[in-house]
Amino acid sequence: MTFDLRNVKYVIVSTHPSLDAEQSTRRRILAATFVVLSRDGRRKLQLSDVAAEAKVSRPTLYRYFGSKEGLLEAFGLYEQDNFDSGIAAAMAGLSGPGRLDAALRFIVAFQSNYSLGSLAEIEPEHVIYQMKRVLPIMHERIARIIPGEDSDIAAATVVRVAVCHYMIAGGSPAQFLAELRHAAGLDAPRQRLHRAAAG
pTM above 0.85, yes or no: no
Whether 17 and 104 share a structural domain: no
Whether 138 and 182 share a structural domain: yes
Which pLDDT value is given to residue 191? 45
Whether 93 and 157 share a structural domain: yes
C-alpha span between 175 and 181 (Å, rounded): 10
Q: Find the CATH number of the domain harbouring 45.
A: 1.10.10.60
Domain count, the chain: 2
Whether 43 and 140 share a structural domain: no
Whether 152 and 185 share a structural domain: yes
Which pLDDT value is given to residue 196? 39
C-alpha span between 43 and 156 (Å, rounded): 32
Other C-beta atoms closer than 10 Å to the C-beta of 83 total 19
Residue 165 burial class via C-beta count within 10 angstroms: exposed 0-12, middle 13-18, buried 19 and up: buried
Low-confidence residues of the chain: pLDDT under 70? 1-17, 114-120, 188-199
Instruction: DSSP letter for 16, please.
Output: S
Each residue's pLDDT tens digit, 98-139: 999 999 999 999 887 765 556 667 777 777 777 787 788 889
Domain carrying residue 142: 75-199
Whether 42 and 92 share a structural domain: no
